[in-house]
Structure 1
Amino acid sequence: MKIRLERDVLAEAVQWAARSLPTRPSVPILAGLLIRTSDEAVVLSSFDYETSTQVHARAQVSDEGQVLVSGRLLSDICRSLPNKPVDISTDDSRMELTCGSARFTLQTLPVADYPALPTMPEQTGTVASDEFARAVSQVVVAAGRDELLPVFTGVRMEIDGETISLLATDRYRMALKELTWSPASPSSSGAALVPAKVLADTARSMTAGESVSISLSGASQGDGLIGFQGTGSGGQRETTTRLLDGEFPKVRHLMSIQPQLTVRGATAEIIDAAKRVALVAERNTPLRMLIGDGTITLEAATGDQAQASEALAATVDLHGAAEPSLEAAGFNPNYLLDALGALDAPFVDFAFTAPGKPCLLTGLAELDGEPMTDYRHVIMLMRLPASR
């Protein structure tokens, strides 16, 4: 194999393909990055038996071929190269990389031992790349990180005709985003539980093109394989990943609560105040929201060592109750900030039912407008002490 390509094109392609390489591969061969030629491009691939990545990069191909080398080492090398064209050539046991006066020789791995990458399933539909990336970023904040509970580390993707719903929960918060897309069939339907980390990385990396193609197999059973095809700044990118097993908890009903009390305020103001007050919040203690007449006050403390409070103007409304039964709510400060940051709206509506019950957050385009229900975020409230 003999190819030439630009340094930035190579560095970006290698970095993207190598990002899913396992830190501790079950088989040493999986630490390799497969490089092969294809017409006027070079294709870089990685696979760990769960997730596969492929990226097509523009290149001048003199001699065709393929080679397998250490992916992380090649990634480190590419980041350090001078800004000059890169020449890559191979023989039976070595790959030589030359960039200006810099020259590297890498021992190759046996290509014959490398596993075959999964076949991309048949296309299920396409979605606007920027909308998809924004939707995924809004939902993954609520996904769990505990690998011992894998079902909570995924995002449930539900397909119903021209609507995709993304749903995530870690048991203490839930996020739901609904967006429109272009299905391959108007009657498309199905559900899949996609690893949240893979979904987030993939959606974020495919925004250079107009759309992302989603390909789902085993959609009716909620298992199998899902694939994504899109465009990065250097060329076409493809990812497949195995879906997670297990039954996703039924939490959709929490997204349609009937509030007893609602609080509305400016999102940015509440974020800034919550960040300031949370500086003195002791670990595993709530950030208190005291609800008054036309105001909310955020409070936090670390015992007697430090206390903080900040009052903000807010619109407080009762719904079907003569007197409010909820005068204060306790939030995990990190969960509250994650939710407010994901809303992507100038104003926020807090919908409360009763003390200790979940709180529903939705965005508002205007303070007195209707809630924007395409994105809903639920936070389980923390128990507050009986007295302050």
Structure 2
Amino acid sequence: MKFEVDRDVFAESVAWVARSLPTRPSIPVLAGLMIHAEGESLTLSSFDYETSARVDVPARVHDEGTALISGRLLAEITRSLPHVGVSVATDDSSMELDCGSAHFTLQLLPTDDYPVLPAMPAETGKVASGDLAEAVSQVAVAAGRDELLPIFTGVRIEIDGETLSMLATDRYRMALKELTWTPVRSDFSGNSLVPAKVLSEAAKSMAGGESVSIALSQPGNGQGLIGLAGEANGTKRRITTRLLDGEFPKVRHLMDVRSTLTVRCSTSDLIDAAKRVALVAERNSPLRMVMGTDSITLEAASGDHAHASEQIEAVMESDGDPMAAAGFNPQYLLDALGALDAAYVNFSFTAAGKPCLLTGIGSLDGDPLLDYRHVIMLMRLPD
């Protein structure tokens, strides 16, 4: 195999594929990155029996062929190369890589034991790449990180005709995003639970293209797979991953909060105030939001050592006796506010210790933007 390729495109593509490599591969060859040169392009790929990543890179191929090389090592090397063209040639046991005055000789891994990558399922529909990246980032922030509870580490994708919904929860917060997409069949409906980490990486890396194709496997064609395909930086990218097993908790009804108190304020002002006040908050202690007549006050303390408070303007409406204060996990609050992407935030409270719904609004007297909803379980405040 012998080819020449643009250094920047090659380095970025190798890095993208290498991110899917397992940290502790079950067999040594799974640490490898497969390079296949044919026609006028290279196909770089990786697979760990769960997630596969493939990217097609334009190249000047002189001799076609296939080689398996240590993916993380190749990523380190290509990232450090000078910004000139890259030439690669392989024989039966090694790879020679030249870039300017830099020269590397790398040992090849055996390809005989490398698994066959799964085929992409049939396309289910397309969505604008920017819309997908934004939606996934808004929802994935509420997904769990504990691998011992895999169901909570996923994003539930629900399809109902032209509506694509995404839902995630770690049991203490929930996020729901609804967007319009173009299905292959207008009457298609279904759902799947996708690892949030893989979905986030795929959506982010394909945000530069026009659209992303989503493919959910059908019975008899790779049951339990989702595939995403798109473009970025002149390369075609494809990811497949196994769906998570198990029943996602029924939490959608928690989005339908019937508020007894609503609070509206500037999103940016609240983010800035929360960041400052949270600096003195003890670990696992709440950030207190105290309700005033036309303002809210954020308070936090670390025992007798430090205390902070800050007041910002707010508009309130109550139905009955208003709550005096609410307790938030500081990071959960900041994550939700950062995901809203709206000038103002609307808090819908029911009672102390009950779920609180956050939605974005364009103006203080406008209607809530219900395409994105974020629920936070309030923390118990000390007496």
Q: Would you say same fold, with TM above 0.5? A: yes
Give the aligned partner of residue 382 of structure 1: 379
Give the aligned partner of residue 30 of structure 2: 30
Code of the residue aligned with 2:212 in structure 1: it is V
Q: TM-score, normalised by structure 2?
A: 0.98
Give the aligned partner of residue 230 of structure 2: 230
Code of the residue aligned with 1:236 in structure 2: it is K
Q: 1:200 to 1:136 in 2, by over 3 A?
A: same
Give the aligned partner of residue 308 of structure 2: 308
What is the CA-CA distance between 1:218 and the residue it aligns to? 4.2
Give the aligned partner of residue 239 of structure 2: 239
Q: TM-score, normalised by structure 1?
A: 0.97
Distance 2:66 2:352 in 1: 63
Q: CA RMSD in A?
A: 1.2
Distance 1:282 1:218 in 2: 49
Code of the residue aligned with 1:249 in structure 2: it is P
Code of the residue aligned with 1:379 in structure 2: it is I
Q: How many residues align?
A: 382
Distance 1:347 1:132 in 2: 23
When structure 1 is superposed on structure 2, of 270-279 and 37-46 the one drifting more is 37-46
Distance 2:336 2:218 in 1: 32
Distance 1:336 1:214 in 2: 31
Give the aligned partner of residue 356 of structure 1: 353
Distance 1:92 1:274 in 2: 60
Distance 1:379 1:38 in 2: 51
Distance 2:38 2:230 in 1: 18
SS in 2 for 1:277: helix
SS in 1 for 2:380: coil
What is the CA-CA distance between 1:100 and the residue it aligns to? 1.2
Code of the residue aligned with 2:361 in structure 1: it is L
Distance 1:155 1:68 in 2: 33
Alignment of 1:276 with 2:276, yes or no, is yes
Give the aligned partner of residue 368 of structure 2: 371
Q: Deviations over 1:204-244 (max 9, x none)?
A: 0001211000000148xxx7000000001140000000000
Retained in 2: the 8 A contact 1:12–1:234? no
SS in 1 for 2:124: strand
State the identity as a percent. Answer: 66
Give the aligned partner of residue 123 of structure 1: 123
Alignment of 1:169 with 2:169, yes or no, is yes
Retained in 2: the 8 A contact 1:13–1:234? no
Give the aligned partner of residue 114 of structure 2: 114
Retained in 1: the 8 A contact 2:291–2:325? yes
Give the aligned partner of residue 63 of structure 2: 63
Distance 2:285 2:218 in 1: 43
Q: Deviations over 1:99-152 (max 9, x none)?
A: 112111111111121100001000000000001000000000000000000000
Q: 1:333 aligns with which of 330, 334, 353?
A: 330
Retained in 1: the 8 A contact 2:173–2:376? yes
Give the aligned partner of residue 98 of structure 1: 98
Q: Deviations over 1:83-105 (max 9, x none)?
A: 11111111111111111121111
Retained in 1: the 8 A contact 2:25–2:48? yes
Give the aligned partner of residue 192 of structure 1: 192
Runs of 4+ residues deviating >6 angstroms: none
SS in 2 for 1:262: strand
Distance 2:205 2:341 in 1: 20
When structure 1 is superposed on structure 2, of 160-169 and 104-113 the one drifting more is 104-113
Give the aligned partner of residue 298 of structure 1: 298
Distance 2:378 2:207 in 1: 35
